[in-house]
Structure 1
């Protein structure tokens, strides 16, 4: 066996050790949405469309706070690489307190502004009513969701992706059971319909957050790290997360604009929104699958740069990009092959099923691009290069937004072609340009 082969095998083992559990956990996470869509879809098309609008709003609010996971992973991994495990856990605890503060504020504001947020989509009265009902209940799960993000970031930074996997699987199973019970009822106990789905998800999120917190708190106590809130550390965590918030805001804005473009060009708003909801849910599902390598990239990049090894950082990055391309090809082929069948899992409406097939084919063709984009995004997040990601996200959004609104009149497929190739293609150019340089290779804790 050559020296190069040995090095690649070692790199692959390290990537797979982190990526495989992350892959399984990330597959389980969007199952919250997929199971909700499957259960709610059989209530009716207006309910499914309402879930689609509520889901976009809630995912935007929570998605803006994804820095609680990403930034914490990078910071904790750097300290771990520098040999300071106690400091790594102390930094993680500060992230947990920040999650609580943001979560409480987001919950109060979210419930108070649910009406205007849903009304902005200008959907039919029935869809608007369902979306408002679901969203007001779902906002109660904001703080648990943010705690889940922060605690998962701590564990990933400590190179532990197995614990989040166990919690994600158990939480998803609980979510499905609670949704079925609360939506449809059992025996003499009547179901709550759509509100039952929201309530079931909130209860499952509370249980999952409690499990992750238990593991992190136990580790902090073992290392002697303080569990009290430290204002300076919380402020530092917040400041470091600002560029990632901007980066995430541009991504969420692109998804919101895409959904608005669908409503703008829709012939039948219920059918087009329901179809788009299913397509974006499946896209998110596959994005999380591809993001497993990006999670490994964040943890490995942070640890290697924390230890000062730039040469190995670049070598592992090249290998992870190869994994990203290969994974994208596989997910694309699977999605294309399953496109005629997937609609039957989520809805009985033949119009939605027929409209879904060409959209999924477009999404399938873009999977290899997505694979590279997610990997390089993870590498730069792990390197702490949030400022560049924020600037790149703004440029991408400025290019994409006017185009997708212009093509909205061409229908749902035209909107998805613009999203899959213009938006993702622009992200690819921005990330490859940065990865080829050296500015992101900053070492130290």
Structure 2
């Protein structure tokens, strides 16, 4: 009678240690990424308003171009983790190298488009005549670093699959420090202005990619994995990434539609919406860290032919997701008197912001479950289902959001539509997890 509960407690403690060991460093690395843009903004902001406006436009274009390829990290994590679970580290690293080669090829293709198209992209983004030259300068120089950025994504996925989230944290911290130092030196010391900021960021990104390559190459040499590009492996990595690309584009569409609707509600609403998005993004980093742990842990269990372990880890991570969501929701509610004045002193914006922010707080437990289930299914390599589920979510969310202005709804109604979106995601992902069809064991899916 007492042995089963004791065994259950032991299992929970083991899963807790795994989750904490992987999620905490992953959270640190995730938070370090937006700090690059914050540092650039702080340094360039002192050059003048046109330069800062140009940076804002160029940074938005760059982040959009890079974020759609986040599957390089997610798909690589799942594939590598499966082979780790199967005990074949050589194949795991070989799979990771295929992802890195794919990242390099995609990066070169993006640069080939971005360099000549920079003026056109800046123009359609609505840049003013004074900001446009700075935006084009920053965009063209920074685009040179896109191959390095994508290689960092893929290499991060390799290390996560190898159950190592500490190295990405250290690299992110080093990259952040190098970026800050180089930007200061080149912008002010060398007098290069906004071009110096762009070159500093490119140099920091290339340095990060070089560190990752050294780590992966050492692992490949240690386990006898080939470093040469393999056409079949690269093609397989690309095919595995297509469903996750569809998922990511659908999610980006949700966020763009929400922002467009908020803009139609007026300047006060769009200002409040941007503040809520910033806070929502921060909570997403915390929950995404658990999802990243889920990708690595689930992939390893399935690769080790341990479906029971995968299901037990899934259950425990759902509990973590709910608990983290409750904690983040309470944090938003309790900290709102401090948080809101940090972003705005406009009484109208504050009045519009508060009720919508409470909706975000209430839906954090739902978001916690969604992020965890997303990570579990990614770790299982269930990309096609994730793509289909996100498309269904987009089809439900779009009319709900677009009907907000005609029916006289405000920002709070829009964020209730966002809550609906998260609920639909939880339902579709939950159905898949309950069905057990994601539990496919073996070194490959």
1:25-64 matches, within 5 Å, as: 25-39=29-43, 51-64=55-68
Cα distance in structure 2, aligned partners of 1:96 and 1:167: 17
CA distance in 1, matches of 2:103, 2:309: 33
Aligned equivalents of 2:409 and 2:95: distance in 1? 48
Does structure 1 conserve the Cα–Cα contact (< 8 Å) formed by 2:47 and 2:193?
no
SS of corresponding position for 1:113: helix
Q: Is the 8 A contact 1:34 1:281 kept in 2?
A: no
Provide closer, same or farther for how the CA distance between residues 424 and 88 of structure 1 changes in structure 2, counting only shifts above 3 A: same
Counterpart Cα distance in 2 of 1:61 and 1:163:
25
The corresponding residue for 2:388 is 391
Q: CA deviation at 1:429?
A: 1.7
2:267 is paired with a residue whose SS is coil
Which of 365, 369, 376 is 1:379 aligned to?
376
What's the CA shift for 1:179?
A: 3.8
8 Å CA contact 2:366–2:426 kept in 1: the answer is: yes
**TM-score, scaled to structure 2:** 0.87
Q: CA deviation at 1:130?
A: 5.8
Q: Distance in 1 between matches of 2:401 and 2:212?
A: 40
Contact 1:103 1:142 in 2 (8 A): yes
State yes or no: 1:370 paired with 2:371.
no
| Cα shift at 1:342 | 4.6
| Pair member with larger Rg | 2
On the 8 A contact 2:99/2:154 being kept in 1, the answer is: yes
Query: Which ranges in structure 1 are unaligned for 5 or more consecutive residues?
Result: none
After TM superposition, the structure 1 stretch with the greater mean CA deviation from structure 2, 123-132 or 255-264, is 123-132
The residue number in structure 1 matching 2:240 is 240
Q: 2:83 aligned with 1:85, yes or no?
A: no
Corresponding residue number in structure 1 for 2:251? 251
| Counterpart-to-counterpart distance in 2, 1:415 and 1:141 | 40
Change (3 A) 1:131 1:190: closer
Which residue pairs with 2:231 in the alignment?
A: 231
C-alpha separation in 2, matches of 1:259 and 1:421: 15
Matched, 1:192 2:193: yes
Choose the corresponding residue for 2:99, options 95, 99, 112: 95
Q: Which residue of 1 aligns with 2:19?
A: 15
Matches within 5 A, 1:17-166: 17-39=21-43, 51-122=55-126, 131-166=135-170
Tell me, yes or no, if the aligned pair for 1:77 and 1:157 is still in contact at 8 Å: yes
**Counterparts in 2 of 1:196 and 1:263: CA distance versus 1, 3 Å:** farther
Q: Shift of the alpha carbon at 1:433? A: 1.5
Output the CA distance in 2 between the equivalents of 1:407 and 1:124: 30
Alignment check: 8 A CA contact 2:294 2:372 kept: yes
Matched residue count: 437
Deviation at 1:279, TM superposition (A): 4.2
Can you give the 5+ residue segments of structure 2 that lack an aligned partner in the other structure? none
Residues 53 and 121 in structure 1, CA contact (< 8 A), matched pair in contact too: yes
Q: Distance in 1 between matches of 2:149 and 2:112?
A: 15
Give runs of aligned pairs for residues 201-280 of structure 1, distance below 5 A: 201-267=201-267, 272=270, 276-277=273-274, 279-280=276-277
In structure 2, what is the Cα distance between the partners aligned to 1:279 and 1:53? 20
Q: Summarize the Cα distance change of 1:179–1:335 in structure 2 as closer, same or farther, 3 Å threshold.
A: farther
- Matched residue SS, 1:107: helix
Report the Cα distance in structure 2 between the residues aligned to 1:351 and 1:36, rounded to whole angstroms: 30
Counterpart-to-counterpart distance in 1, 2:40 and 2:278: 10
- Cα deviation, residue 39, structure 1: 4.9
Equivalent residue, structure 2, for 1:297? 294
RMSD, matched Cα: 3.1
SS at match of 1:29: helix
How far residue 430 of structure 1 moved from its aligned partner, in angstroms, is 1.4
**Residue 12 (structure 1) shift:** 0.8
* Distance change >3 Å, CA 260–CA 204, structure 1 → 2: farther
